[in-house]
Amino acid sequence: MSLTPEMIERLPQVDGVLTYIARQWRRSPTI
């Protein structure tokens, strides 16, 4: 049986801080 959202919701979990990239970035002045 494949993984379903309901199965995932029932799993033990921790809340973790994950670092994504912000939606804006600067033009590089040198590269």
Chain residues that interact with other proteins, rule: CB under 8 A: 1-3, 7-8, 11-31
CB of 30 to other proteins, least distance (A): 6
CB of 6 to other proteins, least distance (A): 11
Distant-in-sequence, close-in-space partners of 2: CB < 8 Å, separation ≥ 6: none
Distance CA 22, CA 19 (A): 9
Rg, Å, the chain Cα set: 18
Minimum distance between the CB of residue 18 and other proteins, rounded to whole angstroms?
A: 5
